[in-house]
Amino acid sequence: MLTTRVAVLRGGPSSEYDVSLNTGANVLKALAPIYKVKDVLVTKNSEWYMDGVKVNPEIVCRGVDVVFIAMHGEFGEDGQVQKILDRFKVPYTGSRSWPSKVAMNKALTKDYFRKNAIRTPHGLLVHSSGESVEELTSKIFNKVSPPWFVKPNIGGSSVGASLCKNIPELIVGLNQAFKYCESVIVEECIKGREATCGIIENFRDTRRYALFPIEIIKPDNRSFFDYQCKYDGTTKEICPGNFSKEEKDEMQRMAVKIHKAIGLRHYSRSDFIVSPRGIYALEVNTLPGLTSESLFPKAMAAVGCGYASFLEHLINLALADK
């Protein structure tokens, strides 16, 4: 194994830069005893550095056997870096370029959900150009009932997201979200328990293996599972979650269906709301966080798979797709 050269790609020009650095650091530490690892940092200015030396992407791709993508958000998770790696024909972990782009775009994702009969909250896509925020709030009020969940159409880790209960809060929420993306999704707020369910491919003789759904219990002082409580250790994450067998089975079925419908690869993690009205799919993550506080490694541990073994499995999947 030590002869296999693995580039761990982290950083990038996104609002999730710090999370990506953390994910990458964890991956590098776990892989170092198993593979010949190269630390590849993409700066916020999109400059590439390998082991501290500035390089171009071709040098990275020509010098390794496989790339482990430890990036999140813009550039890493929206299909852009995948296009670069495809150009140089180097294997990499995670989904291909187009499915990554779809999953990163919440409006496109909701279109796939609807076309595949996957229940999702009613929502409206609005844009920063053409109409004032005040005009947009009137349009939203007429089409989506409050309270509203507002989030940038492209992005992750709940960056720029907010829960708005009235028009003044909606104006603030829109202005906040528009800081991160020129298009914003405004959804009806479904009351229920938050959950997430991971999929890992070709695991234990199963093509798309559904992990135990995790129940996410936010701190009482937070209105939703936001960026802060995702990474500060204050959220309770119960795996397996306290769901009925029917709820667990349905989330696993939906997670597999989402993974398949969008054409995702290797692994993914779908987020849900479990409500009295049913289970609603919110979005899907093609490169779930792999920090010490992240959900996917906890779900793998719950089925008896350690962190390093999980990463090794992903690398083997990528090499098999070469």
- On whether both 85 and 220 belong to a single domain, the answer is no
The pLDDT tens digits for 125-145 are: 999 887 888 889 999 999 999
Where is average pLDDT lowest: 32-36, 132-136, 166-170, 247-251?
A: 132-136
Identify the sign of the CA torsion 112, 114, 120, 124: positive
- On whether both 221 and 110 belong to a single domain, the answer is yes
Q: What is the pLDDT of residue 220?
A: 64
Residue 171, pLDDT > 80, answer yes
Residue 225, pLDDT > 60, answer no
Q: What is the pLDDT of residue 1?
A: 62
The pLDDT tens digits for 266-285 are: 999 999 999 999 999 999 99
Report how many domains make up the chain.
3
- On whether both 242 and 132 belong to a single domain, the answer is no
The pLDDT tens digits for 13-54 are: 988 899 899 999 999 999 999 999 999 999 999 999 998 899
Going by C-alpha positions, the residue among 303, 315, 297, 237 that lies closest to residue 22 is 297
- On whether both 291 and 222 belong to a single domain, the answer is yes
Residue 224, pLDDT > 70, answer no
| Alpha-carbon span 225 to 228, nearest angstrom | 8
Amino acid making up residue 12? G
**Parent domain of 115:** 102-119+190-306
Which CATH number is 27's domain given? 3.40.50.20
Amino acid making up residue 298? K
Residue 9, pLDDT > 80, answer yes
- On whether both 266 and 168 belong to a single domain, the answer is no
Question: Across residues 230-245, what is the average pLDDT?
Answer: 82
- On whether both 11 and 136 belong to a single domain, the answer is no
- On whether both 223 and 259 belong to a single domain, the answer is yes
Where is average pLDDT lowest: 107-121, 147-161, 192-206?
A: 147-161
pTM of the model: 0.92
| Alpha-carbon span 134 to 170, nearest angstrom | 9
- On whether both 210 and 270 belong to a single domain, the answer is yes
Residue 217 covered by a domain: yes
Residue 29 covered by a domain: yes
- On whether both 112 and 233 belong to a single domain, the answer is yes
Q: What is the pLDDT of residue 227?
A: 54
Residue 315 covered by a domain: no
- On whether both 109 and 215 belong to a single domain, the answer is yes
Residue 105 DSSP code: B
- On whether both 218 and 300 belong to a single domain, the answer is yes
- On whether both 289 and 180 belong to a single domain, the answer is no
